[in-house]
Amino acid sequence: MGTETDAIVREIDIEASAETVFEFFVDPEKITRWLAVEADLDPRPGGVCHQVHEAATDSHFHMQGQFLEVDPPKRVVFSWGFTEPEVGVPPGASTVEVTLTPTGSGTRVMLVHRGLPPAAVGDHSGGWTTMLDRLRQAVTP
């Protein structure tokens, strides 16, 4: 249970249907509008979830994970880690769980990132805040 306290939990409300928002986690063309610059996604349990993220100038980090649960349009869970050792989160080391709940006029997105090494929590915590804001802008331009 110790790692549970290190989980990053973020919630955001988006004025769009759960079906619409869900696509932004499983469609390579849509995930590159807010989270990654490139993506290879096979959204089924055991399918690849590979993303290329911009790092510093002229450099990229390669996220290599796999989908663990895919339950459209309610839930998607994928493993998360990077091939670059300097990120400090090896492939498969952590999991991202996204739950979509319809609200009166849109969807509540709850993202829980578990299993991060303590040293990586700070970067990811700020990162998810920024990225979910970008997600809202991508879904509702």
Phi/psi at 138 (nearest 5 deg)?
-70, -40
pLDDT confidence of residue 63: 97
Per-10-residue mean pLDDT of the chain, 141 residues long, equals 69 97 98 97 98 86 97 98 94 97 96 95 93 97 77
| Per-residue pLDDT, 26 | 98
> Which pLDDT does position 1 carry in this prediction?
39
pLDDT in the model for residue 5: 58
Q: How many residues does the chain have?
A: 141
The identity of residue 58, as a single letter, is: D
Domain total in the chain: 1
Domain that holds residue 117: 2-139
pLDDT at 50: 98
Amino acid in position 57: T
Q: What is the pLDDT of residue 141?
A: 77
Give this prediction's pTM: 0.93
pLDDT score recorded for residue 67 = 98
Q: How far apart are CA 45 and CA 115, in angstroms?
A: 19
Residue whose C-alpha is closest to residue 20's, from 77, 98, 99, 73: 73
CATH number of the domain enclosing 100: 3.30.530.20
